[in-house]
Amino acid sequence: MFETLQTLPADAILGIMMLYRADSDPNRVDLSVGVYQDDAGRTPVLECVKRAEAAIFAEQDTKTYVAIAGNAGFNRGAEELLYGSNHPAIEEGRVATIQAPGGSGALSVAGHLIARARPGARVYLSDPSWPNHLPLLKLAGLTIEQYPYYDYAAHGIRFEAMLAALEKVEAGESVLLHGCCHNPCGADLSPEQWQALTALFERRGIVPFIDLAYQGLSESLDADAYGVRLMTERLPEVVVVSSCSKNLGLYRERVGTVSIVSRSRKERDAVFSNLSNVARGLYSMPPDHGAAIVERVLHTPELRSLWEQELGTMRQRINGLRQLLVDELRARDVPMDFSFIAKERGMFSFLGIEKEQVIELREKFHVYMVESSRINLAGINAKNSDYVADSIAAVLKR
């Protein structure tokens, strides 16, 4: 059977991680990983999570199955985070939400649902997008197209080109948008751009497919859901996938949601039964522990406010590091304007330097980043910030 299989090339980011691990230089810096790190370089368990977990361990008296759709209290809390309380779509019974194994599991379930509703459907991804969007959605049976998004030379969104490309999308097809903190480029849509896209989608009957993997890490929980809430208010059908990996630090627990807004309560019921049926066919039941933690955090006032505090600390650290890197590079009089980094949001930005310079940073200075020059700002800390800026300045001035 297996002689037909070929060994596949290693994942580009994992390849860089392996090189970093094999490097024993004391100055080595890893800006390639996709997880949040604190100033000590750790990816900590949040205190609100530890407290919720302790209560669950003390009280839990069974490990029997929960439900195909997961934890109902978690799903309700997740809807409130996404749409705000009392959103008309929720009050009108038009929203179907199920718990899924992480944002990736949610993308997979949503992809299968779209493919079932519209066999062979085309989904449009931003150029560039998170590299796992393509395989996840392709495996679900969708046809993947791209629309222009990031302008590497101007360090901003190619909004006119994006609008022109999306004018050609057919009614009933979907366009994947990053809700906030675009991965990998960090360039987010402004409220005006969300409004223009909403008008275009309304006119053309396009269904938004919004991936909100970083809610709360750009401006605030509410501001980061601006696009989701606007589109849900104005458009009859919206697909939203979310993840608690980053904003609650629950990476390995695999917590996410698929939430679908449809035109009527009747269509919502059909969507919910198909979401459940897709989940049943893919993995049967989602893992419980992470969602049980989030349910407790969201519904226990002290834990909820502790979470918002901890999330605020992560957000301020990332945004502060953006400004710090810009200032440090400016102070070294580098021949490039990096001010765009302070305007971008989330953990990632492209430095916008040449591939040879990325390789030189790695081989000579032990500073690791993805070959596209994508860096994770959270990899910078008090101990390495001078060294990172010195190294970048050195390869730029050569």
Ligand X SMILES: Cc1ncc(COP(=O)(O)O)c(C=O)c1O
By CB under 6 A, name the binding residues for ligand X.
34, 102-104, 130, 178, 183, 211, 213, 243, 245, 251, 256
Q: Kindly tell me which of 51 and 346 has the beta carbon lying closer to ligand X.
A: 346
Least Å distance, CB 365 to ligand X, is 26
* Residue found under tokens 């179907």: 96
Q: Kindly tell me which of 104 and 319 has the beta carbon lying closer to ligand X.
A: 104
Nearest-angstrom CA–CA distance, 158 and 105: 30
**Contact between 330 and 338 (Cβ < 8 Å):** yes
Nearest-angstrom CA–CA distance, 276 and 309: 34
Question: Which of 30, 188, 224, 246 is labelled catalytic?
Answer: 246
Q: Kindly tell me which of 238 and 326 has the beta carbon lying closer to ligand X.
A: 238
- Provide the b/e sequence for 242-275 (b: ≥16 CB within 10 Å): bbbbbbbbbbebbbbbbbbbbeeeebbeebbebb
Structure token digits, residue 363? 């081989």
- Provide the b/e sequence for 101-120 (b: ≥16 CB within 10 Å): bbbbbbbbbbbbbbbeeeee
Amino acid at 267: E
Least Å distance, CB 49 to ligand X, is 15
Least Å distance, CB 101 to ligand X, is 8
Q: Kindly tell me which of 294 and 329 has the beta carbon lying closer to ligand X.
A: 294
Least Å distance, CB 396 to ligand X, is 28
Least Å distance, CB 106 to ligand X, is 8
Structure token digits, residue 119? 């066999």
Phi and psi angles of residue 73, each rounded to the nearest 5 degrees, phi first: -65, -40
Packing angle of the helix pair 72-83, 226-234 (nearest 10 deg): 90
**Contact between 280 and 81 (Cβ < 8 Å):** no
The residues, ordered by sequence, that sit 6+ positions from 287 with a Cβ below 8 Å of its Cβ are 101, 253, 254, 255
Least Å distance, CB 130 to ligand X, is 4
Would residue 246 show up in a list of annotated catalytic residues for this protein? yes
Least Å distance, CB 107 to ligand X, is 6
Structure token digits, residue 114? 């779209």
Question: Which of 130, 188, 194, 288 is labelled catalytic?
Answer: 130
Q: Kindly tell me which of 99 and 243 has the beta carbon lying closer to ligand X.
A: 243
Least Å distance, CB 328 to ligand X, is 26
Whether omega for the bond prior to residue 131 falls within 30 degrees of 0, making it cis, is no
Q: Kindly tell me which of 258 and 389 has the beta carbon lying closer to ligand X.
A: 258
Would residue 211 show up in a list of annotated catalytic residues for this protein? yes
**Contact between 175 and 124 (Cβ < 8 Å):** yes
Q: 259: closest CA among 118, 84, 142? A: 84
Would residue 23 show up in a list of annotated catalytic residues for this protein? no
**Contact between 31 and 353 (Cβ < 8 Å):** no
Structure token digits, residue 172? 């009933």
Q: Kindly tell me which of 293 and 389 has the beta carbon lying closer to ligand X.
A: 293
Kindly tell me the sign of the dihedral angle through the C-alpha atoms of 22, 26, 28, 34: positive
Q: Kindly tell me which of 371 and 390 has the beta carbon lying closer to ligand X.
A: 371
Q: 178: closest CA among 199, 157, 206? A: 157
Question: Which of 30, 188, 211, 224 is labelled catalytic?
Answer: 211
Catalytic residue numbers, as ranges: 130, 211, 246
